[in-house]
Amino acid sequence: MHNPQNINKQIYRLALPNIISNFSIPLLGAVDTALMGRLESEHYLGAVGVGSVIFSFIYWGFGFLRMATTGLTAQAFGENNIPECGRLLLQATFIGITSSLLLFIFQWQLIDFSFLLIDASPEVEHLARAYFHVRIYAAPATLCLHAFHGVFLGLQNARYPMLLTVVVNLINVVLNLVFVQTLGMKVVGVALATVLAQYIGLFLAVLLFLRYYRGILTSWNLREVLVIPKLKRFLSISGDIFIRTCCLVFSHAVFTAKSAALSDTLLAINTILLQFINLLSYAIDGLAFAAESLIGKYTGAQDIQNLKRTTRQIFLWAFLFGGLLMLIFVLFGEHLLHLFTNQMPLIEQAKPYLIWIIIAPVVNVAAYIWDGIFLGATASKALRNSVIISTLLFLSAVYLLIPFGNHGLWGAYTLLLIARGISLTVLAPKYLFKPGSSG
């Protein structure tokens, strides 16, 4: 398998389903934004924006259940250790369910702490709290779905995550329309739609796994799940990923909090513009997920030559894809604003900030792709350190640039992505391309 053509085939086979499934995620956010943007007050739009950031803190924080599971499963697959793949699924779902119980117990403290960080108006805070206390009940399904996605991707199967993501998001969109437009439930309807869609998705994930992968579960023994050395490795990698993710989500929360502090109108504008960033990140992440699967497999097999080839080809495709998205934003950016709101004052005030969206596809590519590569290699400490440094730079930039208003805020956010890409490029030779460099 030393042929770039074969590498490209594998990238295509894994990336295309991931891109399709990932495109459906921001489309769901876009529907939420469009529904709230057409209600009588901008407070509804701001509340869903703030509520989504709070759940980003929670669910992105537990993203290690997918990321660590993908890398470790792919490495086990590369070593041809299939029973280990089943043990990793049981381990990840056990941690997911346990974590969900803790989220239920501490939900009031979580929401109170969130509004210590986010300076929203009383109207937005009231609506966001209502959204939170409904959506929190999706936690067990959401966290267990992280585990299933991780194992499927580690097994080099991107079709099932695509099926799960598309089905869940389509159901979510339909329920949103029913609950918000037909039943008039507003922010509570958006939250309830998410809860029901997540549990339907988990049921489908269990069916798919039992139908096609039942054989890799060699034991349901809890002692197999809690093997201390392997659990310690999983938790060590997960801890690094958790810190990395918390830094990123904290940065997004700071961005949202500073938007809210500027004005409710700029909060609504930035909520809309972040849909473009979400679209971009999920599109490029389709290639990053393919990198996780392939880099993990070649790391497990100690195949450094194909590991390097895959890295080069993934970056080539990612920059080409980023250039295409940049062209789309240049040509249609203003038209796309109308998909998210029919309030012309918001659209007019959003236009000056489209420049940050136009440059994002090329600026952000390196950070997104290196993330996938480092995760596949489970080089988690380097990933953690890179994000800590980048977050400190971002916070400094916010402090220095916020006097320039919303342009200053977007400049600081752009610097965060540039710093991540540069730092990971510098760290890559040491942590990725040497035998035994994973972990």
Span 189-229, pLDDT tens digits: 888 988 999 999 999 999 999 888 887 876 566 676 777 77
Q: Are 10 and 294 in contact (CB under 8 A)?
A: yes
| Residue 247 pLDDT exceeds 80 | yes
Nearest 5°: phi and psi at 79? -85, 0
Q: Taking residues 83-103, what's their average pLDDT?
A: 90
| Residue 439 pLDDT exceeds 60 | no
Digit-coded pLDDT (tens) for 256-296: 889 888 888 888 888 888 888 888 888 888 899 899 999 99
Q: Residue 418's CB: how many other CB atoms inside 10 A?
A: 15
The pLDDT value recorded for residue 222 is: 65
Q: Are 404 and 324 in contact (CB under 8 A)?
A: no
State the DSSP code for 177.
Answer: I
> What separation in angstroms does the CA of 411 have from each of 255, 280, 420, 424?
11, 17, 15, 20
> What separation in angstroms does the CA of 379 have from each of 144, 299, 347, 376?
24, 10, 43, 8
End-to-end CA distance of the chain: 24
> pLDDT band for position 25 (50/70/90)?
low
pTM above 0.85, yes or no: no
Both structure tokens of 107: 């939900």
Share of the chain above pLDDT 70, in %: 90
Interhelix angle 264-300/354-376, rounded to 10 degrees, is 30
More confident residue, 48 or 239: 239
Both structure tokens of 165: 């993501």
